[in-house]
Amino acid sequence: MPSQKNIEALRKSTEILKDGKAFYFTDFTGLSVQQIEKLRRELKKNRCNYLVIKNTLGIMALRNLGYEIEPVKKMFFGPMGIAIAYDDPLIPTKILKEIEGLKIKGAFIEGNIFDASGVAELARIPSKNILLHSVIVSLNVIGNFINTISGVTQKLLYTIEAIKDKINKGG
């Protein structure tokens, strides 16, 4: 029979994980308390969280949320910290890679599983805000191009109309 303390820890962990879009599994061995606190502050600024959890509780919490646990179970060994993204699922990759000594075991992102090298590849993808900015800039360039073509087309039509009028006047 589980202790009341473990039942409460499972409830709290499940609550923290429930709205996550992405989970990054890390080993924080060798990090100082200051480094972990810095990591937590950076994650919170970006609508993320960092949960230090016992492996069994982590597996049970994810199972309680309805996740298929077998594919990620192999990441639950040794000290476990889970970075949780509530908004942009790629933000934690940028933050985690900046913490010297933090080992990324893998990630579970919107139903997809990534090993440590896959997470490293994800870190190269620009954030959602940067991608949105790029799209807006591209749309602005396209809009300017369309306006230019529209202006040229109008001038061409006026020129053709002037030539037609000149021909009709016998000129």
Q: Where are the domains of the chain?
A: 4-125, 127-171
With beta carbons less than 8 A apart as the criterion, state whether 80 and 58 touch: yes
Percent of the chain past pLDDT 90, that is, above it, reads: 52
- Asked whether the predicted pLDDT for residue 165 surpasses 80, the reply is yes
Residue 133: what pLDDT?
A: 73
For 129-145, what is the mean pLDDT?
75
Most confident of 83-87, 113-117, 139-143, 156-160: 83-87
Token pair of 4 as six digits: 């009341």
With beta carbons less than 8 A apart as the criterion, state whether 107 and 24 touch: yes
- HSE (CB half, 13 Å, CA atoms) of 69? 14
Residue 154: what pLDDT?
A: 83
Residue 59: what pLDDT?
A: 94
| Domain 4-125: assigned CATH number | 3.30.70.1730
**Residue 90, φ and ψ in degrees, nearest 5:** -95, -15
Distance in angstroms (rounded) separating the CA atoms of residues 51 and 25: 10
Distance in angstroms (rounded) separating the CA atoms of residues 31 and 103: 10
With beta carbons less than 8 A apart as the criterion, state whether 55 and 44 touch: no
- HSE (CB half, 13 Å, CA atoms) of 11? 7
Residue 171: what pLDDT?
A: 58
**Any idea which of 53-67, 104-118, 146-160 has the lowest mean pLDDT?**
146-160
Token pair of 98 as six digits: 């900046």
Residue 56: what pLDDT?
A: 93
